[in-house]
Structure 1
Amino acid sequence: MFDKRLFALPAVRRALIMLLVAAFAHALCVLGEAWGLSTAIARIWNGDPISDQVLPIAVFAACFLASQAVAWISDTRMESFARSRVNEIRERLMERTFSGDVRLKEKAGSAAVAQTLIEGAAQVESYLKLVLPKMVGVVVIPLIIFIAAIPLDIVSAFILLVLFPIIVFFMILIGNMAQDKAQRQYRAFQTMSNHFIDTLRGLPTIKALGAGRARGIQVFETSEAFRRATIDTLKVATLSGAVLDLIATAGVAAVAIMLGLHLIDGSIALAPALAALFLSPEYFKPIRAFAGDFHASLDGKNALAAMLDLEERTGTGTEETPAEEKAAPAVWNDSSVLSLRDVSVAYEDAGFSAIEETTIDLHGHEVVALIGPSGSGKSTLASLIAGFLRPSTGAIAVSSGIEAPIDVDLSCDAWRRQVVYIPQNPYVFKASLRDNLRFYAPDASDEAVLEAARAAGLDALVDEMPDGLDAVIGEGGRGLSGGQAQRIALARTFLVPERRILVLDEPTEHLDVETELELKQRMLPLFEDRLCIIVTHRLHWLDQADRIFRMEGGRLVEVEGAMDEQHAADDGAHIAYDAALTFAPTATGEAAYLDEALSAGRSSSVRASRVTCSLDDRASDDTAFAHAAGSADALAPGTDDPKRDRWVRPYFSMFRPELIRAVALGVAALAFATLLMFSSGYLISRAAERPDAILLVYLPLICVQVFGGGKPVLRYFERLVSHDWVFRMTSDLRLRLYAALEKTALAPGSRRSAGEVLGLVSDDIGHIQNLYLRSIFPAVTALLLYLLVVIALGCLSLPFAAGTAVLLGVAAFVLPLISLRANRTHLERSKNATDACYASLTDDVLGSNDIVLAGRGAEFLETHRAAQSAIAREESAVERRRHVIDASMAAVFCIGTCMTIVWAGERFAEPGAMGNAANWVAAFVLGFLSLAEAFSPLPHGAAVSCTYAQSITHLNRIPEAEDEARAIRRACTKPVKGGRNGQERGSDDRNAFPNRRCHADAQGDACLLNEADATHPAIDVREVAYVYDGSDRPALDGVTLDIPFGQKVAVLGRSGSGKSTLLSLVRGDAAPQNGSIRIAGREASSFGNGIARIVGYVQQDPYVFDQTLRANLRIADPNATDEDLRGVMESVGLAPALARLPRGLNTLCGEDGARFSGGERHRIALARVLLSKAPIIMLDEPMSGLDPDTEAGLLDTFMNAAQNRTLVMVTHHLAGIERFDRVIFIEDGRIAMDGTPAALARSDARFQALLEFDANC
Structure 2
Amino acid sequence: MKQDHLLLTKQDKWVRPFFKKYKKLLALVLFLGFLTFFSAAALMFTSGYLISRSAAKPENILMVYVPIVLTRAFGIARPTFRYIERLGSHNWVLKMTSDIRVRLYRSLETEATDTKENYQSGSLLGILSEDINHIQNLYLRTIFPICTSYILYLFIVIGLGYFSLPFAGLMLILFALILVVLPLAAILVNNARVYRKKAKKHVLYNDLTDAVLGVADWQYSGRYEEFLTQYNDAESSVREEDYQLNRYSRLEGIIKQFIFGVIAICLFIWSGSYFISQGNPGALNWIAAFVLSFFPLLDAFGPVSDSVKELPIYEDTVQRLSKLPDPDKLDAGVAKNSITLESTTIQLEDVSFKYSQGKRELLSHFNLTIPEGDVVALLGKSGTGKTTLTQIIRGDLLPTSGKVLVGGVDIKEMEGQQAKYFGVLNQHPYLFNTSLKNNVRLGNLDATDEDVLKAIEAAGLKQVVERLPQGMDTLVEEGGKRFSGGEQQRIALARILLQDVSIVIIDEPTIGLDPLTEKQLLETVFNVLKDKTVIWITHHLVGIHHADEVVFIEDGKIDMSGSPKELLETNEHFKQLYEMDVYE
For normalisation by structure 2, the TM-score amounts to 0.81
What secondary structure does 1:1104 align onto?
A: coil
Q: Does 1:1196 align with 2:526?
A: no
Q: Conserved in 1, the CA contact under 8 Å of 2:5 and 2:315? A: no
Question: Residue 1046 of structure 1: SS of its match in structure 2?
Answer: coil
For 1:796 and 1:1051, how far apart are their aligned partners in 2? Answer: 87
User: In structure 2, what is the equivalent of residue 664 of structure 1?
Assistant: 31
Which residue does 1:766 correspond to in 2? 133
Q: Which residue of 1 aligns with 2:40?
A: 673
Tell me: CA distance 1:1088–1:964, structure 2 relative to 1, closer, same or farther (3 Å).
closer
SS in 2 for 1:1070: coil
Q: Could you tell me how far apart the structure 1 residues matched to 2:549 and 2:166 are? A: 95
2:295 counterpart residue number: 929
Q: Which residue of 2 aligns with 1:443?
A: none
| Aligned equivalent of 2:179, options 803, 812, 822 | 812
Q: Is it true that 1:1042 corresponds to 2:374 in the alignment?
A: no
Instruction: Specify which of 923, 935, 939 is matched with residue 305 of structure 2.
Output: 939
Corresponding residue number in structure 1 for 2:459: 1128
User: Equivalents in 1 of 2:454, 2:275: separation in Å?
Assistant: 87
| Distance (whole Å) between structure 2 residues aligned to residue 803 and residue 1106 of structure 1 | 62
Q: Is the 8 A contact 1:1026 1:1034 kept in 2?
A: yes
Q: Describe the shift of the 1:1129–1:1006 C-alpha distance in structure 2 as closer, same or farther (beyond 3 A).
A: farther
CA distance in 2, matches of 1:1199, 1:783: 68
Per-residue CA deviations over 1:875-925 (Å, capped at 9, x if unaligned) read: 4544444333333322222222223333333444479x9934433322332
CA separation of 1:906/1:1056 partners in 2, compared to 1, >3 Å: closer, same or farther?
Answer: same
Matched, 1:954 2:281: no
Secondary structure at 2:81 match in 1:
helix
**1:1096·1:1176 contact (CA, 8 Å) conserved in 2?**
yes
Q: Which amino acid aligns with 1:649?
A: R
How far off is 1:1209 after superposition?
1.7
Work out the CA distance in 2 between the residues paired with 1:699 and 1:1067.
Answer: 76
| 1:309-355 Cα distance to aligned partner (Å, 9 max, x none) | xxxxxxxxxxxxxxxxxxxxxxxxxxxxxxxxxxxxxxxxxxxxxxx
Residues 230-309 of structure 1: pairs in structure 2 closer than 5 A = none
Residue type of the partner of 2:430?
A: V
Within the alignment, does 1:1077 sit opposite 2:404 as a pair? Answer: yes
2:552 matches 1:1225:
yes
Shift of 1:647: 0.9
Q: 1:737 offset after TM fit, Å?
A: 0.9
Matched, 1:802 2:129: no
2-structure distance, mates of 1:675, 1:748? 55
- State the 1:1086 CA deviation: 5.3
Structure-2 change in CA distance of 1:799 and 1:1196 (3 Å) = closer
CA distance in structure 1 between the partners assigned to 2:482 and 2:220 by the alignment: 22
1:748 and 1:932 map into 2 onto residues whose CA distance is 47
Mapped partners of 2:469, 2:290: distance in 1: 74
Q: Which residue in 1 is equivalent to 2:430?
A: 1104
**Structure 1 residues 1217 and 1121, CA gap change in structure 2 (3 angstroms):** closer
User: Is 1:1180 the counterpart of 2:507 in the alignment?
Assistant: yes
SS at match of 2:113: coil
Q: From the superposition, tell whether residues 758 and 1034 of structure 1 become closer, same or farther in structure 2 (CA, over 3 Å).
A: closer
Counterpart contact for 2:330–2:416, Cα < 8 Å: no
Structure 1: distance between partners of 2:528 and 2:67: 86
Whether contact under 8 Å (2:352, 2:364) holds in the other structure is yes
CA offset at residue 1186 of structure 1? 3.8
2:567 alignment counterpart: 1240
Render the CA deviation track for 1:74-110: whole Å, top value 9, x for unaligned.
xxxxxxxxxxxxxxxxxxxxxxxxxxxxxxxxxxxxx
Q: Which has the larger radius of gyration?
A: 1
Cα distance in 2 for partners of 1:641, 1:710 equals: 40
Task: Measure, in 2, the Cα distance between the counterparts of 1:855 and 1:1135.
Answer: 49
Distance in 2 separating the partners of 1:1154 and 1:1186: 15
CA RMSD of aligned residues (A): 4.3
Kindly indicate whether the alpha-carbon contact (under 8 Å) linking 2:43 and 2:75 is maintained by their aligned counterparts in 1. Answer: yes
For 1:1187 and 1:946, the matched residues in 2 are separated by 56
1:1149 positional shift: 5.2
Report the CA distance between 1:858 and its aligned residue.
6.2
The answer to whether the Cα contact below 8 Å between 2:461 and 2:487 also exists between their aligned partners in 1 is: no
CA distance in 2, matches of 1:1185, 1:701: 78
Which residue identity does 1:668 align to in structure 2? L
Q: How does 1:291-690 map to 2 (within 5 A)?
A: 645-690=12-57
Distance in 1 (alpha carbons) for counterparts of 2:219 and 2:262: 60
The one-letter amino acid of 1:1224's match is: V
In structure 2, what residue type is equivalent to 1:947? I
Shift of 1:961: 0.6
Supply the AA of the counterpart residue of 1:1236.
S
Provide the C-alpha distance between the structure 2 equivalents of 1:1201 and 1:721, rounded to a whole number of angstroms: 51
Q: Give the one of 508, 525, 541 matched to 1:1214.
A: 541
Normalising by structure 1, report the TM-score.
0.41
2:113 to 731, 746, 755: 746
Measured against aligned partners, the alpha-carbon deviations of 1:1108-1163 in whole angstroms (never above 9, x if no partner) come to 582555544665656854763569xx969x97999998465546x67788787667
Work out the CA distance in 2 between the residues paired with 1:922 and 1:1022: 87
Q: Which whole-Å CA distance do the structure 2 matches of 1:1096 and 1:691 have between them?
A: 85
What's the CA shift string for 1:258-287, capped at 9, x where partnerless? xxxxxxxxxxxxxxxxxxxxxxxxxxxxxx
Aligned length: 572
User: What's the counterpart of residue 919 of structure 1?
Assistant: 285
Distance verdict in 2 for CA 1:805–1:1230, change over 3 Å: same
Answer yes or no: is the 8 Å Cα contact 2:149–2:301 preserved in 1. Answer: yes
1:892 aligns with 2:235: no
Q: 1:1144 to 1:919 in 2, by over 3 A?
A: closer
For residue 736 of structure 1, report the CA deviation from its aligned partner: 0.9
Deviations 1:812-849 (A, max 9, x none): 22333344445445544444444445445455555555
2:552 is paired with a residue of what secondary structure? strand
* Structure 1 residue 648: Cα displacement: 0.3
**Structure 2 equivalent of residue 400 of structure 1:** none
Q: Secondary structure at the match of 1:1178?
A: strand
Residues 1012-1052 of structure 1 show CA distances to partners (whole Å, capped at 9, x for unaligned) of x4xx5632333444443234654434433333333232223
Give the Å deviation of 1:1059. 2.9
Q: Matches of 1:820 and 1:876 in 2, distance apart?
A: 17
Whole-angstrom distance in 2 between the partners of 1:688 and 1:1212: 94
1:711 and 2:42 equivalent? no
The 3-state SS of whatever aligns with 1:746 is helix
Equivalent pair of 2:455/2:495 in contact (CA under 8 Å):
no
CA distance in 2, matches of 1:843, 1:818: 38
Query: Given residue 892 of structure 1, which amino acid in structure 2 is its aligned partner?
Result: I
Q: 1:696 to 1:1156 in 2, by over 3 A?
A: closer
Letter in 1 for 2:180: F
Q: Deviation per CA, 1:503-533, whole angstroms, max 9, x where unpaired? A: xxxxxxxxxxxxxxxxxxxxxxxxxxxxxxx
Q: 1:1162 to 1:832 in 2, by over 3 A?
A: farther
Contact preservation (8 Å) 1:1166, 1:1182: no
